[in-house]
Amino acid sequence: MKRLVEIRSYKLKPGATAAFHEAFDKRAVPLLREWQTDVVAFGPSAHESDTYFLIRAYDDLNDLRTRQDAFYGSDAWRRGPREAILSLIENYMNTVLWLSPAAIEDLRQSTQP
């Protein structure tokens, strides 16, 4: 059964990639995983400086909305890494598409260091 994959692309403030990655890797991703979010992959873009990506998988659009509303509305996010992360972002864009479990696993494996 296919899953809905969200690809979020962040345009970071100039020179903010290292600080963003540190905060994202050490604080945001563990928190997302505590909230049972399937974080498929994340990291700095290989083609453009000051850009970053996050790939997450969901059952469907309702699952995406429900999980993100709960997470981004939580005290854990708002009182946690929110300000440190948002202060480094100029803007972001989301794209969603349906992928097979095998394609998701391939994404997961291909972005591992």
Q: If we measure between CA atoms, which residue out of 80, 71, 73, 87 comes closest to residue 37?
A: 71
Q: Tell me, what's the pLDDT at 112?
A: 60
Are 5 and 98 contacting, i.e. CB atoms less than 8 angstroms apart? yes
Q: Tell me, what's the pLDDT at 110?
A: 83
Q: Tell me, what's the pLDDT at 91?
A: 98
Give the residue ranges of the chain where pLDDT is below 50: none
pTM of the model: 0.93
Query: In this predicted model, what pLDDT tens digit does every residue of 5-20 receive, in sequence order?
Result: 999 999 999 999 999 9
3-108 has CATH 3.40.50.12780 classification:
no
For the chain, the domains span 3-108
Query: In this predicted model, what pLDDT tens digit does every residue of 64-77 receive, in sequence order?
Result: 999 999 999 999 99
